[in-house]
Structure 1
Amino acid sequence: MNHPVPKSIREYLDQLRMELRGADPAMVQDALYDAEEHLRAELAEHPGLSEAEMLAKVATSYGAPDEVAEIYRVREGEVELALRPRRALAPARKSLLARFFGVAVDPRAYAALFYMVLSLATGIFYFTWVVTGLGLSAGFAILIIGIPFIVLFFATVRALSFVEGKIVEAMLGVRMPRRPLYVDRELSIWQRIGRMFTDPRSWSTLFYMVLMLPLGIAYFTIVAIGTTLSLGLIAAPFLHLFGVPGGIRLHLESNVLELSPWMSPLVFVAGVLLLFIMLHVVRGIGYLHGQLAKHLLVKLA
C-alpha cells in the first residue's frame, strides 16, 4: 500500500500504526515507542533539519513505515518460533495418555504454578497500593497537592502495569509490551495528563490490580490444597510401609476412616493422578490469566 511520504514524526507514527493493523497490540506499542525514540534522536542530532527533511534522510537507514512494519512482523514470528521450539518440532498428534502425562515436562505448567503462588504477594501489594492511592487522592483532592499527587499515583500504576506485564510474559508466555506505553510527545503536559485520565487502560489497570487480590487468594489456595493433597496421598503408602502406626486414615468431619493396607497402591495412584490433574489445571489457569492480563493491561492498537 502506497502512502504519501510523511512530513512529520506524528504522520510517520500514524502510518506505522496503520501498517500494523491487526498485529499484536503489545508489538504495536513496542514498534511505536522504538520508532519515535529513533526519529527524535535523529532530529536531535541534526537540529538544522526540519522533520520532513530528517524523515527523508533516515528513510534509507531506518525504513519507511511499511518496511518497518514488515520487519517487526517477521521478527515477531522468529522470536515466537525460537521461544517455542518444542511446539514447532513436536509430532502433530499425540495419544491421550502422552498428552496427559506430558504436562510433567512442560515448563509452562511449573512457571504458571510459581506465578500462582507469587500472585498472593503481588495481589496483596497491588490491592493495597490502589486502595491507598485512591483514598489519599480523594483526601488530597481539596488541597493544592491534590492534582500532582493524583498524577503521580496514576504514573506509578502505569509503571506497576509494565512490571506486571514483564512477569506475565516471563512466567505465562503471553506476549506483553517490552517498552513503556507510547505517548505522543507533541502534546502539551496538560493534554498528556488528560489522556492519562481518559485512557480506558488506566482504569482497566486499576481494576486488574484490585482483582488480583481475590485471584491471588484463589490461586494460592488451589496450589496449596492440590499440592498438599496429592503429595500426601503419594506419601501415605510409604509412611505406612515404614511403620507409621494407624495405617492410612481419612478424617471426615468427626469420623476417622482407616483404610486397609491393601488399598495403598490405589491411594498412591490416586495421588499421582491428582498431581497431574492439578498441573493441567494450573497450566490452564495460567493461560486464562495471561489472556486476562493482556486484555486489561495492554492498550489496543
Structure 2
Amino acid sequence: MASIPNIKTYHFLPYKYGSELLIDIGRIETLKNYVLDSTSHQLSFYEIIFIQEGSGTFIQDENKISIHPQVIIFTSPGQVRRWEIEDKVKGYTLFFEKDFLHLFFSDELFLYRFQYFHQYSHPAKMEICKTSFGKCLELLHEIEQEFKQIQNDSNHLIRSLLYQLLIVLNRYYAEIYSVQRDTYVHPDFYRFRSLLEKRFLRDQTVEAYSRMLNVSPGFLNKICRQFSGLSAQQMIHYKLISEIKKQLHQNKSAKEISYELGFSDPSNFNRFFKKFTHTTPQQYRKNIK
C-alpha cells in the first residue's frame, strides 16, 4: 500500500502485547487520538467499526457514512478517511493485518473473499437489526475477553472468532446488498479483484486482465457477474470512478487526474466521469466544498 503525500498513515503495532499478535480490539471511546481523528488519514491494515452510540459523519474516500447505532463500517488498507462527530461515539473497533489470516489459511487472496473489503460498487458499511448486531457484539466480547488474559494459544482462539465474525458479516452484507455471499466461488474472481486493486492505473481493459489470468474475456465476465452482479468492465469502471472521486477530494485538478489515469485528453476524462456520475469533475468538486 502506497502512502498518499500529506496524509497521516496509521501502522499496526504487532508487539503491543509482547509477542507478535497481528490483531487488536478496542473501545472507540478510549482510542480518541486514533479512532476519532478529525483530520484526513489512512490505515495500512484492515478495520471494522461497530457503532453502539453516537452521531455524525464518517468520510471514507469519496463516501459519506452517517454514524448512528447498529452501523458497521469496513476499511481496507489505503482508504482515506476522517471523522466528523456530533454526539459522543461509543462502540468497538477491530483491526488486523492481512497476515493474521492469509498466512494461516495459506491464501494471499483470502480477504478478497469477503464482499465488504476492497469494495467500490457497493457501500463499505451496513446497518443491521438489533438482534444481528447483538450477535456480532457477543463475538467481539469473546475476543475482548481473550485479550484481557493473553495466553500462548490466544492467537488461535482469536483467529477462529475473527473468522466466524467475518463470515457472519459477509452473510449480512450479501443479504442487504443482494450480492453473492458464498466465499468459495471461482478463484480467478479473487485474483481479478486483487489485480484490479494493484494495476487499474495501467490496465483498464478486460482483455488485459484476461491475459494475466490466462482465461477468456467471456469467462472473466461470467464469474464477475456471478459474484458481484457486474461485468468485468463495469468493475474496472467503478474502480476508476472511485479513484477519480478520491483524488478530487484531494484537490487534484481534472487535468492532473486525467493524465495520471491514462485518459487521452481532459475532454474524454470529463465525458467518462459525467457518464457514470451525471455531473462533471468540476461540479463534483464544487459540491464537495
Q: TM-score interval w.r.t. the shorter chain?
A: under 0.3
Q: TM-score, normalised by structure 1?
A: 0.25
The structure showing larger relative contact order (alpha-carbon pairs under 8 Å, at least 6 residues apart) is: 1
Higher strand proportion, which one?
2
Q: Mark the structure with the bigger radius of gyration.
A: 1
Q: Which has the higher helix share?
A: 1
